Amino acid sequence: MDQGEAKSNENHSSSSSSSSGDSNPCPICLGPFLQESYLDSCFHKFCYNCILQWTKVVAGKHSRSPSSLKCPLCKTENFSIIFGYDGSSFQRQYVNVNVNFEHSSFFSKAHKYRLKCYYTEPGILSNIVNVSRYWKSHKYLQPNRWLLSWLRREIQALLQEEDVEIIVHHILGVVDSFLKRGDQFHQMKTPEAKQGEFKTLVSNAARPFLAARTERFVNELEMFLASSFNIQAYDEVYMQQLGWNIPRVIGEAADAERGEHEPVIPYLYIFYDDSDEAD
């Protein structure tokens, strides 16, 4: 009996020691974790306030706040902080979502709207746009006169940079190269094979610039092409599906007159007022 109790106490002591040894302090404050949080790509753990303040410090060293954050430990690019995990759900703070765009001459209401779209559930127009028919009917071979402008706005919104012409024309060149393949390719390949190859080519071209947002970007590009809408019509249908009010995202004057109510975003994330970064 005594030996059993001693052995039990020994195991308990060993387990407690092991558990204590496994819990490392926060790499930033070197203290116990307060509100554990994780970076979304490398999953390194920090106190939530510690990594949030680190984000602000890093942003303050750039003339334009970055849209991603390099992990203080491994230097991996991350786009959000995961926190508030309770076993079934979590919250997410995206890096630099709440940028003060009023001081940026190129970042319009349309750019802001498109950036917000990337934080909603994917496949918003799947019940309206028949992507499968787009590939089966060879509709993809028809030129799209709005593609260049749509790509420019999309890349500007995602990177929050004005000068994206090199990236835009690189991706546009990949799309054109795919369309100019010989008749044998377009006739012999199945619609599914053509769709898969197209998305792979565009993904490879966009990934060095868009990183974790590449897959969503490619899906958005495919949806825009399959819709055959012009940019304004595409925007209006997209916002109707999300239940957002429909400001004139192409005309800034109309935006100022009508205003824009904040959308209900399916994902859990929080916007913070980072006005202190400008001081």
What average pLDDT does the segment 13-32 reach? 61
pLDDT tens digits for range 108-118: 888 888 888 88
What tokens were used for 46? Answer: 């920090």
Residue 21 has pLDDT above 80, yes or no: no
Residue 20 has pLDDT above 80, yes or no: no
Nearest to 171 by CA among 137, 141, 143, 198: 198
* pLDDT tens sequence across 47-57: 888 888 788 77
DSSP string, 215-273: HHHHHHHHHHHHH---HHHHHHHHHHHHT-----SS-HHHHHHH--PPP--SS-B----
Residues 75-114 have pLDDT tens digits of: 888 888 888 877 777 787 777 654 444 445 677 888 888 8
Name the DSSP letter for residue 181.
S
Q: Quick check: pTM over 0.95?
A: no
More confident residue, 4 or 52: 52
Over residues 170-203, the pLDDT tens digits come to: 999 999 888 887 777 777 788 898 889 999 999 9
- Is residue 254 within 8 A of residue 271, CB to CB? The reply is no
So where are the chain's domains?
A: 36-103, 109-242
Q: What is the dihedral of CA 22, 28, 33, 38, to 10 degrees?
A: -90
Burial (CB count within 10 angstroms: exposed 0-12, middle 13-18, buried 19+), residue 223: buried
Q: How confident is the model at residue 45 (pLDDT cuts 50, 70, 90)?
A: very high
Sheet of strand 80-83, all strands in order from the earlier edge strand to the far edge: 45-47, 36-39, 80-83, 91-94
279 pLDDT more than 70: no
**Which pLDDT belongs to residue 104?**
54
Question: Which percentage of the chain shows pLDDT scores above 90?
Answer: 18
At residue 248, does pLDDT exceed 60? no
Q: Of 165, 231, 226, 170, whose CA–CA distance to 201 is shortest?
A: 170
To the nearest whole number, what is the mean pLDDT of the chain? 75
126 vs 248, more confident: 126
Task: Kindly report each contact of residues 221-226 with a partner whose C-beta sits within 8 Å and lies 24 or more positions away, as own/partner.
Answer: 221/151, 221/154, 222/131, 222/134, 222/195, 222/198, 223/125, 223/126, 223/129, 223/131, 224/147, 224/150, 225/134, 225/140, 225/144, 225/147, 226/129, 226/130, 226/131, 226/133, 226/134, 226/139, 226/140
Query: Cα–Cα distance between 238 and 232 in angstroms, integer?
Result: 10
- Residue located via tokens 């490619």: 218
